[in-house]
């Protein structure tokens, strides 16, 4: 016994045998397939030729941040004056004036040995530093931007270690200041470091730090991390003088400026 081929229905609801197709439909489908593959291939080739990696979002911002040291004017990274609204003790306002900018350099001799050892895995692309004084010229603060060679995984790893081990509060890992002859920071050396803040960013290959002290060159036996010096009721000399606020306040505002420049660098033309 044999069976007839089953019937289907065409677009006009008329019976037709399944398995049969209009030759023109088959040809049309084949043409569409060829054109579709061609368009996809052309789009991919065009992307390669244009150098468009399709990189967007946090990763592209991370990459852009790494080149800011040579593409952004120093006055944008370290403004001549910095407003610190609510940055002082008791939410008092602060105003810092830049008194010196260090030549951009590598990291050789820029950090104490232990801190250099901690930062070495990130690599050093460029180090930028500037020193500021407060409105009364009683305090001086050096702010640094270390542009590293690390990728996002590398910076995240070190940031996690710093946070877990509280390395940003160890007194043997304090950044060095940048003294400048003929300025209020002329006597701001290693022995004058009073308070500091340091942060390994995870969305940019950058380490931001600040270290503060007195402008009169007085020595400090034991510097205090800004986080501790800013606590209510802290009685150390750096805390009483507001030097923790000086270091943290300037570090925060320079970091904000860096992020703003990253945003500008990654904006797409309209």
Angle at 102 between CA 185 and CA 219, to 5 degrees: 30
- The pLDDT of residue 64 is 86
Tokens 């940019």, residue? 204
- The pLDDT of residue 58 is 52
> In this structure, how many other beta carbons lie within 10 angstroms of the beta carbon of residue 208?
20
Cα 136 to Cα 18: distance, rounded to the nearest angstrom: 93
Structural contact between residues 121 and 162, judged by C-beta atoms closer than 8 angstroms: no
- The pLDDT of residue 189 is 97
pLDDT tens per residue across all 270 residues of the chain? 333 444 433 433 344 444 444 455 544 444 444 444 444 344 333 332 233 334 444 557 898 889 899 889 999 999 999 999 999 999 999 999 999 999 988 998 899 999 999 999 999 999 999 999 999 999 999 999 999 999 999 999 999 999 999 999 999 999 999 999 999 999 999 999 999 999 999 999 999 999 999 999 999 999 999 999 999 999 999 999 999 999 999 999 999 999 998 887 666 443
Handedness of CA 64, 66, 68, 70 (dihedral sign): negative
């Amino acid at each position: 016994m044999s069976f007839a081929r089953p019937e289907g229905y065409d677009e006009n609801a008329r019976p037709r045998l399944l398995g049969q197709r209009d030759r023109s439909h088959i040809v049309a489908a084949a043409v569409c397939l060829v054109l579709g593959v061609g368009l996809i291939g052309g789009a991919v080739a065009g992307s390669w030729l244009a150098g468009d990696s399709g990189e967007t979002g946090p990763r592209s911002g991370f990459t852009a941040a790494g080149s800011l040291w040579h593409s952004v004017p120093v006055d944008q990274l370290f403004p001549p004056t910095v407003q610190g609204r609510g940055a002082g003790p008791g939410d008092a306002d602060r105003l810092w004036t830049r008194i010196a900018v260090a030549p951009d350099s590598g990291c050789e001799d820029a950090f104490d040995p232990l801190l250099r050892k901690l930062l070495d895995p990130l690599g050093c692309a460029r180090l930028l530093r500037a020193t500021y004084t407060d409105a009364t010229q009683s305090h001086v603060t050096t702010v640094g931007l270390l542009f590293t060679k690390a990728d996002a995984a590398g910076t995240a790893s070190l940031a996690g270690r710093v946070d877990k081990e509280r390395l940003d509060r160890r007194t043997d890992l304090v950044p060095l200041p940048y003294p400048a002859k003929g300025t209020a920071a002329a006597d701001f050396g290693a022995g004058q470091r009073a308070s500091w803040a340091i942060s390994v960013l995870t969305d940019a290959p950058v380490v931001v730090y600040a270290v503060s002290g007195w402008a009169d060159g007085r020595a400090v036996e034991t510097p205090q991390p800004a986080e501790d010096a800013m606590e209510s009721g802290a009685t150390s000399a750096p805390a009483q003088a507001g030097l923790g606020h000086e270091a943290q306040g300037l570090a925060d505002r320079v970091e904000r400026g860096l992020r703003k420049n990253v945003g500008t660098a990654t904006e797409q033309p309209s």
